[in-house]
Amino acid sequence: MGLLGSLAMLVLVLLCFEQLPNVRAQSKRSEARALDVLLQEYAFRGFNAVPKTGTIYKGNALSNLTGIEITALRLRSGSLRRRGVPMYNEFQIPIGIKATPYVERLVLVYQNLANWSSRYYDLPNHTYLAPVLGLLAYDGSNLSATNLQELDINATGNPILVKFQDVKSAPDGAVAKCVWFDLQGSSNFSNVTGRNTCSTFQQGHFSIVVESTTAPGPVSPPSGPTPTPSAPGEKSNKKVWIIVGSVLGGLVLLALLSLLILWLRKYKQKKKMQGMERAAEAGEALHMASVGSTKAPAASVTRTQPTLEQEYAP
Ligand SMILES: *[C@@H]1O[C@H](CO)[C@@H](O)[C@H](O)[C@H]1NC(C)=O
Ligand SMILES: *[C@@H]1O[C@H](CO)[C@@H](O)[C@H](O)[C@H]1NC(C)=O
Ligand SMILES: *[C@@H]1O[C@H](CO)[C@@H](O)[C@H](O)[C@H]1NC(C)=O
Ligand SMILES: *[C@@H]1O[C@H](CO)[C@@H](O)[C@H](O)[C@H]1NC(C)=O
Ligand SMILES: *[C@@H]1O[C@H](CO)[C@@H](O)[C@H](O)[C@H]1NC(C)=O
Ligand SMILES: *[C@@H]1O[C@H](CO)[C@@H](O)[C@H](O)[C@H]1NC(C)=O
Ligand SMILES: *[C@@H]1O[C@H](CO)[C@@H](O)[C@H](O)[C@H]1NC(C)=O
């Protein structure tokens, strides 16, 4: 392996370590997206055979996700745009909502993640004062469809309002903030208005948070046991993998480093040998010069062989 090769590997390994938190965030994001897929399916199952448009249907509960609430609302796109939805649970949807691509009927799936909020939407150094609520739009033409892609919805006039109920009060001196997670997983903060209201021009997941201080203040944790002892196998498995990965990575790093050091040593020796060789050759040339124009082909044989020493080097 050449020096460049080793160096490239080293950089690669170091980069992997750098990316570890990123990878973790990404896996969180994909978990949340997998939950969206599941909740879409279960919300759609809550419709009866001929669901009325404009009626809110409660989705089937998932036995392994007790606490999460889902509902579905089927609407004509035109009606949504012209009339909005004055009250869809906590969401107040104004007129002027545009959905792309155009579908005749769409379904707005509502999610209340309750005590699962921080499990799926982990926000470092923040505490949830309200549950994470989701609002996602889907094509409503086939109610047994699964794995649906969300439609793109935008409020073209006034924003959609989210009026949270039962917001915990922020600890003294702390400022509550709205947080919005878009479907790509990035989050953004904005100001809370009227103590409990957030606004948005797009779909996604929403909540109210406060920055948590490390000092044990009167910060009340969100409802339920949030240190998430849930889904035990999965979580600890991931931890194990991270540890195993780190150890393996460390070993690889160590091996690469030793290789590099070995190689450098050899390289130095080689340089030294070459220097000696050159010196020997110079000596030979001198010697030959003193002999005159007579050729001395045996000269190279009398020269000490540097390769021997190199072979016995540690
Ligand atoms: C809950 O159950 C559903 C359906 O059985 C399954 O697809 C999903 O992965 C489960 N979720 C968790 C977090 O265990
Ligand atoms: C949320 O609460 C329900 C009971 O209401 C419980 O079964 C579930 O395990 C809790 N989820 C988490 C993540 O703690
Ligand atoms: C969270 O807070 C700790 C300690 O104050 C800090 O070291 C860390 O960088 C913070 N994390 C984020 C994502 O801001
Ligand atoms: C609706 O979706 C289901 C599940 O993907 C599929 O089996 C069915 O053929 C679809 N129906 C129509 C009318 O497209
Ligand atoms: C909605 O807004 C987003 C971001 O502002 C933009 O990228 C997207 O094209 C808009 N979609 C529509 C249908 O206007
Ligand atoms: C967050 O929101 C602010 C104000 O709405 C905006 O200027 C900024 O670009 C947003 N950042 C991201 C990452 O979306
Ligand atoms: C949010 O509130 C802070 C302080 O209360 C203020 O300085 C800031 O301009 C507000 N941001 C917006 C987008 O209204």
Sort 85 into a burial class: Cβ within 10 Å, 0-12 / 13-18 / 19+. Answer: buried
Residue 314 lies inside a defined structural domain of this protein: no
Which candidate, 82, 22, 11, places its Cα nearest to that of 242? 22
Ligand 3: centre distance to CA 168 (Å): 23
Res 93: pLDDT: 97
Res 236: pLDDT: 55
Is the four-CA dihedral 203, 117, 33, 110 of positive or negative sign? negative
Nearest CA to ligand 4 atom 4: 145
Ligand 3 atom index nearest CA of 125 = 1
Domain around 81: 3-221+238-245
* pLDDT tens-digit series, residues 163-194: 999 899 999 989 999 999 999 989 999 999 99
Residue 291 lies inside a defined structural domain of this protein: no
CATH number, domain with residue 116: 2.60.220.50
Residue 267 lies inside a defined structural domain of this protein: no
Specify which residues 193 forms β-bridges with. Answer: 197
Residue 270 lies inside a defined structural domain of this protein: no
Residue 187 lies inside a defined structural domain of this protein: yes
Res 75: pLDDT: 96
Ligand 5 atom index nearest CA of 153 = 13
The pTM of the full predicted model, rounded to 2 decimals, is 0.69
Residue 288 lies inside a defined structural domain of this protein: no
Residue 127 lies inside a defined structural domain of this protein: yes
Residue 213 lies inside a defined structural domain of this protein: yes
Residues of the chain with pLDDT under 50: 1, 215-235, 284-303, 308-309, 312
Total structural domains in the chain? 1
Res 288: pLDDT: 45
